[in-house]
Amino acid sequence: MTEPLLVSVSNAVATLSINDAPYNRMTLDYMDVLEETLPKLAEDEKVRAIVFTAEGEDNFSVGMNLKQFPEGIARKGSADAVFDQRLRVLNMIEHLGKPSIATLFGYCLGGGLELPLACHFRLAADQGAQIGLPEMDLGAVPAWGGSARLPRCVGRDQALDMILRGRKIDGEEALRMGLVTEICPIAVLKIRAQEIGEELARQPRLAVKGMLETIVGFESRSLAESLLDERAAVHLTRGTPDAAEGMRAFLEKRDPVFNQES
């Protein structure tokens, strides 16, 4: 039986690849394995960043395999339980305490956009990407948090335009809207994601974790609450080996080498 999720680690970056080319559907088995894998990566101190991608160069993901929905209800007990798992997994990605990067290419539809929306960085192919939440065309609505996360990413009006019209956008428009941070040719998209992952992995681990806890989900917190989160991050990083290394490197006019303690 083909493994639904391929996991590899290189230079402190874990790559999680959907293994269902060419469409890379997020099957029931994929979600089960992903839910088992994420807590392990959270605990693994050798992993400091995560790349979410998919096999091949055709599509990142067309989202859930809709033909499996009746089976999912039978497995999980209800339709809500199927959706709850997917919301739970995406929330786990967002709050893992480690930065995540998603690669968007080909079809990135439904869950194929909702998972990247839970990541902290998104890169897209400069050509060929079709990115959207087309559930309206099926008489339905996004069910994995897309209607909650997309407005926080691109603003209310852009989110309404994409969701209510079932509109698909390409990489260039996604960059203009702020949905992705970079676009690049598909041939180097995964390489670029690895490069950014390695750059993030070199940053001081506790400082990255503290900033993720401060910034992720700030929209739902008051300024006072966010300031308290920031102060907690200050206490978390003060006096650490990385803080000492950063100061030494500044005084010695060299690049710091962080995370030596782990």
Active site residues per annotation? 114, 135
Quick one: which of 146, 165, 142, 144 has its CA closest to 154? 146
- 8-state DSSP, 3: -
Q: Is the peptide bond before 204 cis (omega within 30 degrees of 0)?
A: no
For residue 79, the number of C-alpha atoms closer than 13 Å in the C-beta half-sphere is 4
Contact 42, 97 (CB under 8 A): yes
Compute, in degrees rounded to 10, the torsion defined by CA atoms 55, 65, 163, 172. 10
CA distance 171 to 21: 21
User: Helices 79-94 & 111-118, crossing angle to 10 degrees?
Assistant: 40
